[in-house]
Chains A and B, each alone.
Chain A
Amino acid sequence: MTGRRHRGGGPYPDRLITYEEEPVRSMLGDKRAIAVFIGPALIVYTLVMIVPLIWSAGYTFFDGSVIGGFNFTGLDNYKQLLGDDAFWASTWFTVKYGIAVTVGQVGFGLLLALLYTFYLKRASALVRTLVFFPVVLPTVAVAAMFTKLFAVAPQPGLINSIASVLGMSGDRDWFGDSGSAFIVLVVMDVWRSMGFYAVLLYAGLVDIPDDIIEGARLDGARGWRLVRHIILPMLTPILLSSVIFSINGTLKVFDSIMALTGGGPGDTTSPLTLYMYKTAFSFGDYGYGSTIAMQLTLLSLLVTLVIFRFSRKDQTR
């Protein structure tokens, strides 16, 4: 372990020289050493990830509960899934939400990053901190705040008050129909996380050598053309990572929706995670809940694969 850790010149650079050449290579070639190095992590990973995953996959073929006992039902859960309107509605909502929030988070993150680099430059530290701030706030607190912001009863919230000052209808029930509840959800999650993506992309932007940008400017590239032809291509790897982070985070959204709308009104803002949670834990149907969870896993996997494919294409271009 020491050999690898100190390779980059850690606290004991002089000791490294003696270790570096042969011993490390022979140690890493030793199967027992490998087992010692990765064994503990692998065991923990297997216990907390692989075992529950297989366990959960097993549940999808059963019906029943922990108290009443489980019965093997074969593919019944999957058959039920195909004809379940609520499942398809949740899937559609999940995809819709994932796309809207990812575009928002990464899009605004990129705009903010460009703002930091090209407009605010060195003065951006304060703004960066402020925009990043919501990332560290607990989701439930943010949701409570947004509930009040968009409230209509018992007192109109800030948004409705502003609307009435501006002469618009000040008694809109934002959480009363699925369309506006969706908007509030997206606004909240974009606001909450764009600071994170802004910092991520900012790091990427800072990494672009100044002379390339300088050269592009000399060649007459400015504004959108500079961004389109120089910045974005150079930023692609980080942009793709951001999109993968974001889409996988948003496909698995749970806390913000649970805290803000609870999936309501009705089940119109209920993503797959919430549907799964309710099915397994509120209705006590672990088998069907696991079946829904499997579909979410597949969806995340599929989306990630698609994005990876895109990224490969891009790099060979």
Chain B
Amino acid sequence: MKLRSVAIAAAAMLALAACSSGTDDTAASGPLQVKYYSVQQPTEGWPLVFGKLTDDYAKTKPGTTLKVEVAPQADLDQKLQLLASQNNLPTIFNAPNSNELLQQMYNSGQILDLEATLKELGVFDKLNPAAVELVKKTQGGKLLGLPLELNIEGVWYNKKLFADNGITAPTTWEELSAAAAALQAKGVQPFAASGQQGWPLTRLLGNYLFRTVGPNALQDVKDGKAKLTDPQYVAAAQAVADLGTKGYFGKGVGTLDYATAQDLFLQGKAAMFYMGSWAVRDFGNQQTNKIGADNIGFLPFPTVAGGTGTADQTPMNAGLTTVVSKKGYNAEVGAWLKYIVEHYGDRALSEIGLVSGFTANPPADASALTKGVVTQIGATKQPLLWFEALFPTKATDTATKNVTRLVTGDMSPADYMNTLQKAIDQG
């Protein structure tokens, strides 16, 4: 049955491809309509800010509209591949999850190199240089996507639970483990983490490596100078596995989805939560945050004794970036894009408290957490990538899928790293 329906779908796609490859709607005259293919709804995040800015832009260029189409993130790569093969990509769209696919799109001339484009438009200086560096590191040395958000990551903690149990904010891994043990002894679950997502757990592993081996830990693996099976790397897996086998992530960590894990933290049932600063938006929501935004503190990822990494090296990312179709680009789109880039930073902050990779001044009424994020970004000496940032897609999947087995003790640290290294070697 399954095979047959796949076959039917394939045939339908072929038929669709045959029908639609002839259509070409970018050459349509009349007012500009920008199509945005995004994983976010028009009522939230980047599409919301883009929508508001486009409305403003339409005051000088009447009729300009933004049309947002939403794709679930899990389907994004597939849909983009299909659209790209039909030469029918929308004006702008979220970069695919897979960097290989992004590079293919660039190499086959489907998307723009934005550094050149923005310099041409004279607005390149509107981007935060650190954010540009960060994006380039993950996009093969080129700026292909706009850093529509800029996140730091670290451990968010419940100040009250810490105070009630006489725990001070830990700065080293040893202190963090001790704090977790103390909380566990008092019957408080130390960490909330989504094993279903996997990456909240692999981030710990990656950061531990950055703290012990140093900021180049994973670049070395990519360049073949080091292997994940080297003792220092396996030790990092061991450290994270230990947190799990001691029960610090609570029961059933593998089945917790993102929202449930976050709820555990925001309902005061878990004391710590490793997450990116995008979560600050949810922390500000009084309906879901039962512990209060003022009650949440931020810990930079702790240092590890004897390691070369320091606390002012902060894990950062630009979220899912947004790229511009080469075919859909023309002078009109350029003028619109220029307007967006000029105003995005401030508007994202004031509209939804979103810190982006664009220069901006935080408004006076920004929340303490948002201001804290801005400060922390300013204090960052060196941005760090995340564990899987330089992995091929298959290895990323292997890492995030198997990490729950690592923390439940179902898979040994050596096995985990070995499996992962194999996946990387296969490309």
Interface residues of A (CB under 8 A from B): 47-49, 51-53, 55-56, 65-69, 147, 151-154, 171, 173, 175-178, 249, 252-255, 262-268, 273, 278, 281-284, 293, 296-297, 300
Cα distance A297–B104 when bound, in Å? 31
Residue B371 is within 8 A (CB to CB) of chain A in the complex: no
Q: A51-B11, A53-B7, A153-B256 are in contact. Are A284 and B81 (CB under 8 A)?
A: yes
Q: A66-B81, A265-B404, A265-B408 are in contact. Are A48 and B8 (CB under 8 A)?
A: yes
The answer to whether B104 and A68 have CB atoms under 8 Å apart is yes
The answer to whether B393 and A284 have CB atoms under 8 Å apart is yes
Partner of B252, one of A53, A173, A249, A267: A173
Partner of B264, one of A51, A154, A297, A300: A154
Show 14 residue pairs from A and B whose CB-CB distance is below 8 angstroms, ordered by the A residue.
A48-B8, A49-B4, A52-B10, A52-B11, A55-B10, A153-B253, A154-B263, A171-B251, A264-B254, A265-B408, A265-B410, A282-B397, A283-B98, A283-B393
Partner of B77, one of A51, A153, A254, A282: A282
Partner of B402, one of A177, A266, A273: A266
Chain B CB within 10 Å — which of A47, A52, A255, A267 has the most?
A52
Quick one: CB contact mask for B72-105 with A, threshold 8 Å, 1 for yes?
A: 0000011001101100000000000010110011
Q: A52-B7, A153-B255, A252-B1 are in contact. Are A282 and B81 (CB under 8 A)?
A: no
Chain B interface, DSSP helix/strand/loop, else mixed: helix
Cα distance A281–B81 when bound, in Å? 9
The answer to whether A297 and B252 have CB atoms under 8 Å apart is no
> In the assembled complex, how far is the CB of residue B33 from the closest CB belonging to chain A, in whole angstroms?
25
A273: which B residues are within 8 A, CB to CB? 2-3
Residue B126 is within 8 A (CB to CB) of chain A in the complex: no
Q: A68-B108, A284-B77, A293-B3 are in contact. Are A152 and B252 (CB under 8 A)?
A: yes
B2: which A residues are within 8 A, CB to CB? 252-255, 273
Cα distance A56–B14 when bound, in Å? 13
The answer to whether A264 and B250 have CB atoms under 8 Å apart is no
17 more contacts with CB within 8 A, not counting A65-B81, A171-B251, A282-B98, are: A52-B7, A65-B101, A151-B255, A154-B256, A154-B263, A173-B408, A175-B255, A176-B252, A177-B405, A177-B410, A264-B404, A265-B402, A266-B404, A266-B411, A283-B98, A284-B101, A296-B3
The answer to whether B10 and A176 have CB atoms under 8 Å apart is no
Q: A154-B264, A263-B401 are in contact. Are A67 and B10 (CB under 8 A)?
A: no
Partner of B401, one of A253, A266, A293: A266
List B residues 123-153 near A (Cβ within 8 Å): none
Cα distance A151–B252 when bound, in Å? 8
The answer to whether B252 and A153 have CB atoms under 8 Å apart is yes
Residue B381 is within 8 A (CB to CB) of chain A in the complex: no
The answer to whether B404 and A176 have CB atoms under 8 Å apart is yes
Cα distance A176–B4 when bound, in Å? 32
B264: which A residues are within 8 A, CB to CB? 154
The answer to whether A252 and B84 have CB atoms under 8 Å apart is no
A284: which B residues are within 8 A, CB to CB? 77, 81, 98, 100-101, 393
Cα distance A66–B96 when bound, in Å? 14
> In the assembled complex, how far is the CB of residue B97 from the closest CB belonging to chain A, in whole angstroms?
9
Residue B394 is within 8 A (CB to CB) of chain A in the complex: yes
Q: A48-B8, A67-B105, A176-B404 are in contact. Are A283 and B397 (CB under 8 A)?
A: yes
> In the assembled complex, how far is the CB of residue B184 from the closest CB belonging to chain A, in whole angstroms?
15
The answer to whether A267 and B255 have CB atoms under 8 Å apart is no
Residue of B nearest to A49 (CB): B7
Residue B238 is within 8 A (CB to CB) of chain A in the complex: no
Cα distance A67–B338 when bound, in Å? 29
Residue B38 is within 8 A (CB to CB) of chain A in the complex: no
B8: which A residues are within 8 A, CB to CB? 48
Q: A154-B260, A154-B263 are in contact. Are A175 and B252 (CB under 8 A)?
A: yes
The answer to whether A281 and B251 have CB atoms under 8 Å apart is no
Cα distance A166–B85 when bound, in Å? 58
The answer to whether B393 and A282 have CB atoms under 8 Å apart is yes
Cα distance A152–B404 when bound, in Å? 15
> In the assembled complex, how far is the CB of residue B131 from the closest CB belonging to chain A, in whole angstroms?
27
Residue B110 is within 8 A (CB to CB) of chain A in the complex: yes
The answer to whether B81 and A173 have CB atoms under 8 Å apart is no
Residue B29 is within 8 A (CB to CB) of chain A in the complex: no
Residue B107 is within 8 A (CB to CB) of chain A in the complex: yes
A47: which B residues are within 8 A, CB to CB? 11
> In the assembled complex, how far is the CB of residue A296 from the closest CB belonging to chain B, in whole angstroms?
7
Partner of B251, one of A53, A153, A266, A282: A153
> In the assembled complex, how far is the CB of residue B365 from the closest CB belonging to chain A, in whole angstroms?
34
B250: which A residues are within 8 A, CB to CB? 153
Cα distance A284–B102 when bound, in Å? 12
For the complex of A and B, 10 pairs with smallest distance between CB atoms: A153-B252, A152-B252, A66-B85, A266-B402, A68-B104, A52-B7, A252-B2, A67-B104, A52-B10, A266-B405
Q: A173-B408, A282-B393 are in contact. Are A152 and B401 (CB under 8 A)?
A: no
List B residues 249-284 near A (Cβ within 8 Å): 250-256, 260, 263-264, 269
